[in-house]
Amino acid sequence: MGFFINRRSSINKKNSWDVLISQRLAVWLMGLEIAALLTGSFFMEQNKEVAGAMNGAFPLYLWLTRGPLALTWWLWAAVCLLAFLTVNTLCCSVESIKRKKGGLLTLLAPQIIHAGFLLILVAHLMSSLGAAKIMGQLPQGAEARLPGFDIFLSKVEAGPQPTAQVELLSGEKNVLKRGVLSPNHPVFFRGYGIYLEELSMDPYPAAYLEVSREPGAIWAFFGAILFTAGTILLVLLKSGQG
Amino acid sequence: MTPNLMWLAWASVPLYLTGLYKRFFLFAGCLAQAAYLVARGMRLGRVPLVGPHDTLILLAASLAGFSFLFHAAQERGKRSFRILIGAMAALFTLFAMLARPFEGVLPPVLSTYWFELHVGLSFFSYAFFGIGAVLGVIYLGQREAALEKSQYRFILSGYLLFSIAMIAGGVWAYLAWGSYWLWTPKELWTSILWLYYSLYLHLRLRPSWHGKNTAYAGVIGFVLVLFTYLGVGLLMKSSHTF
């Protein structure tokens, strides 16, 4: 009897593993993820105010947990499907490495792509939990308190390429860093990015600044590099197959 | 002052249509559009990539230009291929000519190589996906295995370019707005498109899906490309409305 139970349990384990590594599951999960995002795009369009808060001052996690389920369910569904897809991707990669089918590069290319994809997902998770954004107008010659340091706006210059000179100060008013902000050229300090959004000279010179923290950014970048490297390798391998 | 060579863009329409009969004219149409874009870029002092006029011309020229990769490699299906590519390029050019060219000065946030890389590679990838769709249509009529294989290669190459375009967009968004990802319908549709082609590439790994099914999937993919490019811009609000 014990033999039959053990045998049945090992068959069940094998079946579960086969499901977890299957491409069929990957295809279904991707299809359902597409459906969730597609629904989300129309929800966002119909509920612009609620959707606008997704890019607001607080991490996405807060939007997701505090928003009404009637408006956030599609993102919950997308996140759950991505969690299943992560498990499927990991299991599929482990199985491919175990089987060692084909040459080394043929084996490696999809795993590098998978690793890149997973890193990008980790990055999104980190940003969803820990991103923060503060926005506001700062007149020339004024300073504002930020988490851990102060920012002083020393000079603004309008023109085709507007600039704002800033000094980052310690609590004792020592200058920690000086920088010049312009569009696409932020200043980074202690995990924060300081961005120039707009300048105004009337009624007084002032800069509209944004200070943001995006903890997943560097991981997303590394993930993207891995993903691209794997895909380039795959393209080269496929083009060499005649 | 570089002259406005709009006639070159107009001339490409009859050239593409004549290209339905003779391949040389398809090539001439592509050259005329390339010359137009270069002249326009020199006149404006920037790469012309803003608005439907510029991007549709780029899409038409890329479709015709990259189609020569197929002409150089394949023997079968060339006539139908030339006809469909010529017709699509002519149609996109006509739509481009209906749109008013953007002649103004770019906002400072668009003056970056990341923007040019993001938009340029996006439209190159759309052209690859378009060629993949054309090959899918021809395959469904002729059932030549080589055509479906070519479709796969074009789509895989398009997928690589599209991925790099998304990465460039993420880097640019991070440098400009402090976040590599914004929750807007356009970004969601870009993800849908990327997931869809990921799904296509996984489908093709399954032998039972080779052939008719993947050919259809490639055609549907280009419908999604057109909706992501034109439909979302027209129907939904997003960060991509410059």
Q: Which tens digits make up the pLDDT trace of B45-91?
A: 999 999 999 999 999 999 999 999 887 766 666 789 999 999 999 99
Residues of A in contact with B176 (CB under 8 A): 183-184, 195
pLDDT (0 to 100) of residue B242: 43
Record: contact B164-A228, CB cut-off 8 A: yes
% helix / strand / coil in chain B, to the nearest 5? 80, 0, 20
Q: Do B206 and A23 touch (CB under 8 A)?
A: yes
For chain A, say whether B172 makes contact (Cβ under 8 Å): yes
Say which residues have a Cβ less than 8 Å from residue B7's Cβ, sequence separation at least 6: none
Q: Is the pLDDT of residue A52 over 50?
A: yes
User: Domain map of chain A by residue range?
Assistant: 2-130, 132-214
Given pLDDT bands bounded at 50, 70 and 90, which one contains residue A15? confident
A42-46, A106-110, B237-241: lowest mean pLDDT where? B237-241
- Is a pLDDT exceeding 60 seen at residue B2? no
Identify from B148, B152, B179, B194 which residue to disrupt to test chain A contact, counting A C-beta atoms within 10 A and taking the largest count.
B179
Mean pLDDT of chain B: 91
What number is the average pLDDT over the span A61-77? 91
Sheet (strand A187-189) strand order? A132-139, A206-213, A192-200, A187-189
Q: Is B69 on the interface with A (CB under 8 A)?
A: no
B235 close contact with A: CB closer than 8 A: yes
Is the CB of B160 less than 8 angstroms away from the CB of A235?
yes
How many Å lie between the alpha carbon of B124 and the closest alpha carbon of chain A? 16
Complex ipTM value: 0.90
pLDDT in tens, A223-232: 999 999 999 9
Can you give the pLDDT at residue B133? 97
**Residue A120 pLDDT:** 97
Q: Could you tell me if A56 lies within 8 Å of chain B, comparing CB atoms?
A: no
Show residues of chain A in contact with B236, CB under 8 Å: 41, 44-45
Instruction: Taking residues A190-198, report their average pLDDT.
Output: 93
pLDDT bracket for residue A115 (50, 70, 90): very high
Q: Answer yes or no: are the C-beta atoms of A233 and A109 closer than 8 Å.
A: yes
pLDDT band for B35, please (50, 70, 90 cuts).
Answer: very high
Whether domain A132-214 has CATH 3.30.565.10: the reply is: no
Per-residue tokens: A147? 């988490």
Span A86-105, average pLDDT = 89
Does B164 lie at the interface with A, CB-CB under 8 angstroms? Answer: yes
Q: Where are the domains of chain B?
A: 1-106, 111-242
User: Which residues are CB-contacts of A7 (< 8 A; sequence separation ≥ 6)?
Assistant: none
Residue A22 vs residues A12, A18, A99, A142, B54: alpha-carbon distances, Å: 15, 6, 14, 60, 43
Average pLDDT over residues A100-106: 83
pLDDT score of B140 more than 70: yes
A227–B236 C-beta distance less than 8 A = no
Shortest CB distance from A162 goes to which of B108, B114, B184?
Answer: B108
Comparing alpha-carbon positions, the chain B residue that sits nearest to A187 is B175
Confidence check: pLDDT of A102 > 80 = no
Q: Which range (A48-52, A91-95, B49-53) has the least confidence?
A: A48-52
DSSP designation for A156? E
Window B:37-66, CB contacts with A under 8 Å: none
